[in-house]
Chains A and B, each alone.
Chain A
Amino acid sequence: MAKVIVVTSGKGGVGKTTTSASFASGLALRGNKTVVIDFDVGLRNLDLIMGCERRVVFDIINVINGDAALNRALIKDKHCDNLFVLPASQTRDKDALSLDGVGKIIDELKESFDCIVCDSPAGIEHGAFSAMYYADEALVVTNPEVSSVRDSDRILGILAAKSKRAVEGLEPVKEHLLVTRYNTGRVAAGEMLSVDDIQEILRIPLLGVIPESESVLQASNSGTPAIHLDKSDVAEAYKDLVARFMGEEVPMRFVTAEKASLFKRLFGGR
């Protein structure tokens, strides 16, 4: 049974698109036939992060309006054979995303894909709503600071009240917390909320922690999802995230500051 997973946050700039790209790539690397849909109509970014911006011909609005068949709009990822991108339109506005139209696309995708990842725009307006409406599971991306946590709380409330599952009285959307841009040093210094602080407020299960890292920016600029960066913390953290999502027990890494022991300090690295 195909799963629809929305990557959402409320607040902008917390790492939704970065996460969508890496999460979808990770699912595909594990053998799931995966499609990732950019719902940020008017401000499309996912194609850039995935490095397929030069191959965009048709987009989700073309498909909704019947200008193009769905399979013509899907772009095959350059890293994974079983990963496809459905780009957003750059020129239309969000109102073109009709809920019915999105529903038809998702139903059609469910026939041939295992995982459908919906990259939500920021905010709680129509675009974000249409991204979350059909979700079975939600990856709520939060940065360790109060405004991001508050916005995630708001999104969780909307998911619980207005998603299709909520409206139709089905089993609620399964919620997962993903903390991104986590800097253990700054948490220890009291400048950032800790994972515990965030969970104390949001009270949903933690699926992963992605450390703050400059390599994310380089990955974005080069059009490579961060999960493909060899030997980086971020790639490891995203792989852990995907493993946990697939039901594996993986210990949480990057949560506590590495305490350099006296021994280490004397003799350097590992």
Chain B
Amino acid sequence: MSDEHLAVAIREAFDEKYVPSPGLADRVISAIPWDRQPARAASVPRLAGAFTAILTLLILALLIGPSVLTMGSRLGQASPSPAPQSSIVNTDPRCKGIRLLPDRVFQRIAVYRWRSSGSAFVAVPTGLDGSMAADAIFNPSPNQPDDRSVIVFFNARGQALLDQLTTEIAIPQSADPISDTPVHHLAVLVGLTDQQVANWADPVVAEKALMPIEQGGNLLSNGVVLTPFTGNQLIAYFGADLATACSLTAHPK
């Protein structure tokens, strides 16, 4: 296929499902709050404010730091997965200088599936978690050295569970992956505490945990299962947060 044909084919593929939105420009423009003041651009005078903020943070850290550290330790001990390694390391060059997070190591992942409950969907544990994970690595893609997706490898027990699970929920091949429903997805979470697990039926607890990790939740990924899985590998993370990717692929010192 020539470059020209490829370009046409790509355009057609993108356009095939395109649905125009008549009148969008007018609606968008009419909704702009024209009187709103612009966001302040960064400038030198703001350095004083930044300095004050840093000073305040330093004082706060000195005052409440010990309490927070103690709490973090308690949370770690309460994890349903094996306790985090007291000392972890990641020798990957991408992780040089990155602060590793013990509650985001691959041993702390937990896989959930979605069940319909009335008009909503609830996430329920599958039994597959980090206790069955043997290793985790960055996706070894020679053409994409900056790829931060992480592959988790499961042991035989985990592999069997993953096989069974994905066979049950895989999306039918004739269906459109974009228009599927949550029942075809697996939610991979990391760093859940015993308290979160025990109170999972509380929608507030579950909802907060199911927020993306960048937004303070525990959700690493929530992807569609396209085909039943017969291997022992699960790509669990596609995020751009290098600290999470490095922590997931860290090992004991």
A pairs with B: no
Chain B: residues with CB nearer than 8 A to chain A? none
Chain A: residues with CB nearer than 8 A to chain B? none
